Amino acid sequence: MPARRRWLIEAAIAVGAAAFVLPVALIFLTAFKSETEILHFDSLLPSQLTGENFSEILASPEEIPIGRWFLNSLFISSCVTLLVLTVSSLAAYGLARLRLPGRRYVFAMIIATMMIPGQILLVPVYLILNWLGWLDSAAALIVPAGGGAFAVFLLHQFFRNIPRELEEAAALDGCSRLGIYWHVVLPLSRPALATLGIFTFIGSWNAFIGPLVFLDSVDRYTLPVGIALFQTSYWAEYGLTLAASVICTLPVIVVFLLFQKHIIKGISLSGLKQ
Amino acid sequence: MNGGGSWRRLSGYLFVAPYLVLFAAFVLLPVLFGLGLSLFRWEMLSPLAPEYIGLDNYREAVGDEYFWMAVRATGLFVVMAVPMTIVMAMTISLGLAALNKRRALYRAAYFLPVMINISVAGILWRWFYNSEFGLFNAYLAKVAARFGTTAAKVPWLSDPRVAMPSVVLMTLWWHVGGPTVILLAGIKQIPESYYEAAALDGASASQRFTHITLPLLKPVLLFVIVMNLIGSFQVFGQTFIMTRGGPELSTRVLVQYIYESAFNFYRMGYSAAMSWLLFVAIAAVAALHFFLLRER
Is any Cβ of chain A less than 8 angstroms from the Cβ of B287?
no
Chain A residues with CB under 8 Å of B29 CB are 124, 128
User: What pLDDT, in 10s, does the model give residues B46-99?
Assistant: 788 888 998 999 999 999 999 999 999 999 999 999 999 999 999 999 999 999
Instruction: Give contacts of B 186-205 with A, CB under 8 A.
Output: 186, 189
- The whole-number pLDDT of residue A253 equals 92
- Chain B contact for A247, CB < 8 A? no
Answer whether A142's CB lies under 8 Å from A76's CB: yes
Nearest chain B residue (CA) to A13 = B95
C-beta neighbour count of A165 within 10 angstroms:
8
Residue B35: CB partners within 8 Å, gap ≥ 6? B272, B276
Q: What is the ipTM of this complex?
A: 0.88
Quickly count: other Cβ atoms within 10 Å of residue B212's Cβ.
Answer: 17
Rounded to two decimals, the pTM is 0.90
Given CB atoms, is B274 within the 8 Å cutoff of chain A? no
Interface test with A, best of B6, B15, B266 (most A CBs within 10 A): B15
Choose the weakest-confidence range: A106-115, A259-268, B250-259: A259-268
pLDDT band for B100, please (50, 70, 90 cuts).
confident
Q: Do B234 and A119 touch (CB under 8 A)?
A: yes
Question: Which of A87, A101, A270 has the CB atom closest to B19's CB atom?
Answer: A87
- Please tell me what DSSP assigns to residue B40: E
CB contact under 8 A, A271 and B182: yes
The answer to whether A38 contacts B15, with C-beta atoms less than 8 Å apart, is no
Contact of B178 with chain A, judged by CB distance below 8 Å, is answered with: yes
Tens digits of per-residue pLDDT, B4-24? Answer: 567 777 788 899 999 999 999
By the 8 A CB rule, do A27 and A246 touch? yes
CB-based contact, A175 to chain B, within 8 Å = no
Q: DSSP assignment, residue A49?
A: -
C-beta separation of A135 from A217 below 8 A: no
Q: Tell me whether residues A146 and B22 touch, CB distance under 8 A.
A: yes
For residue A116, with 0-12 CB atoms within 10 Å meaning exposed, 13-18 middle and 19 or more buried, which class applies? middle
The verdict on a CB contact (< 8 Å) between A271 and B220 is yes
The yes-or-no verdict on residue B1 having pLDDT over 50 is no
A 43-82 residues with CB < 8 A to B? none
Reply yes or no on whether the pLDDT at A254 is more than 70.
Answer: yes
Q: Would you call B120 and A202 a contact, using CB atoms and an 8 Å cutoff? A: no
